[in-house]
Amino acid sequence: MISHPSILEPDIEALGIFTRQTRACLEKPFIPLKTRLNLLNTIEEILKENDQAICKAIQADFGNRSFHETRILEISPCLMGLRYTRKRLKKWMKPQRRDVSMIFWGGRNRVIPQAKGVVGIITPWNYPLFLAVSPMTSALAAGNRVMVKQAAQSQHLCRLLQDLFSSKIGSEYIRFLPGVSASIFSALSFNHLVFTGSPRTGKTVMQTAAQNLVPVTLELGGKSPVILADDFDMTTAVRRILFAKLMNAGQTCIAPDYIFVPENKIDRFIQTASKVAQELYPDIASPDYTAIIDQQAFDRLMDTLADARENGGRMISLLDGPEAILEHKKI
């Protein structure tokens, strides 16, 4: 396989790291509590010490990504997850008693937590740090080794994380893989594979993993409707809805997609939404308002707006100024 002309250097590296981690699992199948805690502590140190660099790398991948959003939505949840896990890990690792059927009177049952082995993590571009570190935290806490493939749009961050992690943690435990192809990564014989992304890609990943009977955890995008009850306070509702929708420029898998509003309150909803949006983001060109991830996504969204307009839809801009800024990929 390695000699095949379509195999690139990052793919060869991925195969080598997988072999190394698999060998480490065979030679040392049990990772002690102290080592697991040290790994989780080290990850927290990396994130805290390189907060600014991480924000800059994600901003470079997006074209513009609010530093505030990166800290609120990604770095802080990662830190909280690491601390939560460390606090409870000793208890989680203990064998657990289970009841025994009367048929087997005198017997004893125990559930003994055991690691799976090498865990692969495939992350999307919209939350590239959190959706790498969060499943990594769980996998390491359970005593596994981890390999991470990040989205093609997240390579500034991926290269940064590879540099930061490799300087403090051996590749037999964790490895980020800049530039590795999805087809090579998902075809590796992992002991478990975690994928976050679109249903279409998820189907391909699961189909590829099935060739090696690899268990897969899929977290796929969906639609998230909001129902505004007739008796709920309008301003409170709009503030909550727009905070969730406009964060990360709406590029969130569980962001509100559409809203059911009582017919007699539509105009009031629009007026309130415009007021709240301008309070949150007075200027669309502001660095606090995140850009659309790439030109393809920008064009798709603009085409959707054009299609709605051509078919009689009513377009309402919540912010003053242009509907979109092409050079900044903002809508």
Could you confirm whether 253 is annotated as catalytic? Answer: yes
The residue from 9, 49, 78, 219 that is catalytic is 219
Residue 24 scores a pLDDT above 50: yes
- Tell which residue, 151, 144, 116, has the closest CA to residue 40: 144
Of the chain, the percentage scoring pLDDT greater than 70 comes to 98
pLDDT band at 7 (very low <50, low <70, confident <90, very high): low
Spatial distance between the Cα atoms of 130 and 261, rounded to a whole number of angstroms:
33
Spatial distance between the Cα atoms of 203 and 224, rounded to a whole number of angstroms:
21
The residue from 44, 172, 253, 279 that is catalytic is 253
> Which tokens belong to 312?
């009689």
Condensed to tens digits (0 to 9), the pLDDT of residues 233-245 reads 999 999 999 999 9
Condensed to tens digits (0 to 9), the pLDDT of residues 123-140 reads 999 999 999 999 999 999
Q: Identify the CATH number of the domain defined by range 225-328.
A: 3.40.309.10
Spatial distance between the Cα atoms of 41 and 97, rounded to a whole number of angstroms:
30
Q: What pLDDT score was predicted for residue 1?
A: 42
Region 104-110: mean pLDDT is: 82
133: Cβ–Cβ under 8 A, 6 or more apart, which residues? Answer: 43, 47, 78, 81, 82
Q: What pLDDT score was predicted for residue 74?
A: 97
C-alpha distances (whole Å) from 237 to each of 231, 234, 241 are 11, 5, 6
- Tell which residue, 190, 212, 89, has the closest CA to residue 140: 89
**What residue ranges do the domains of the chain occupy?**
9-92+110-220, 225-328
- Tell which residue, 72, 53, 73, has the closest CA to residue 61: 53
Condensed to tens digits (0 to 9), the pLDDT of residues 165-208 reads 999 999 999 999 999 998 899 999 999 999 999 899 999 999 99
Higher pLDDT, 292 or 326: 292
- Taking 3-state DSSP, the helix, strand and coil percentages for the chain, each rounded to the nearest 5, stand at 55, 10, 35
Residue 106 scores a pLDDT above 80: no
Strand partners, 110: 97
Which CATH code of 3.40.605.10, 3.40.30.10, 1.20.140.90, 3.40.50.300 fits the domain covering 9-92+110-220? 3.40.605.10
> Which tokens belong to 26?
């065979």
Residue 323 scores a pLDDT above 90: no
Q: What pLDDT score was predicted for residue 104?
A: 73
Condensed to tens digits (0 to 9), the pLDDT of residues 39-54 reads 999 999 999 999 999 9
Q: What pLDDT score was predicted for residue 3?
A: 45
pLDDT band at 6 (very low <50, low <70, confident <90, very high): low
